[in-house]
Amino acid sequence: MAQVTIYARRECIKARRNAISDAIHGAIMSALAYPAEKRFHRFIALDAEDFIYPEDRGENYTIVEISMFEGRSESAKRALIEELFARFDTGAGIPPQSVEITITETPRVNWGIRGRNGADLALGYSVDV
């Protein structure tokens, strides 16, 4: 399971929402062997005065927060971050300098999904990649 929250200026999200979503989902499918139908993205569009960051990040500065079940290897998480930077650059036109990524992992037992505890779900895909 992976939930993704994307923070950026309103103008950036408006112009690039689909490209950003495709970049993220493509990276997650590639690096984590994630199913195509499992896309969970939330966009938080911020007004310029509500999003303060260093000037060298550019007007398309974007923060990507990924919350997922624990179990992925360090190499899978490194591959995910590398894929995200590459796909943001080529697919969404946002250079790596303007993207920051955090991954937070929690035990499946800490999730509630479709009326069940995450530890009791049959996922249909592996988190041990």
Q: Enter the DSSP assignment of 122.
A: -
* Domain ranges for the chain: 2-120
Give Cβ neighbours of residue 5 (< 8 Å, ≥ 6 apart). 41, 42, 44, 64, 65, 67
Higher pLDDT, 34 or 9: 9
Tell whether the model's pLDDT for residue 119 goes beyond 90: no
d(CA 50, CA 107): 33
Tell whether the model's pLDDT for residue 129 goes beyond 80: no
Phi/psi region, residue 109 (left: phi>0; alpha: psi -120 to 50; beta: rest), is alpha
What average pLDDT does range 94-116 have in this prediction? 93
pTM: 0.91
Average pLDDT, whole number, for the chain?
93
Q: pLDDT tens for residues 100-109?
A: 999 999 998 9
Confidence at residue 47, expressed as pLDDT on a 0 to 100 scale:
97
Confidence at residue 30, expressed as pLDDT on a 0 to 100 scale:
96
The correct CATH number of 2-120 out of 3.30.429.10, 3.40.250.10, 3.30.460.80, 3.40.50.720 is: 3.30.429.10
Which of 28-32, 35-39, 64-68, 125-129 shows the lowest per-residue confidence on average (mean pLDDT)?
125-129
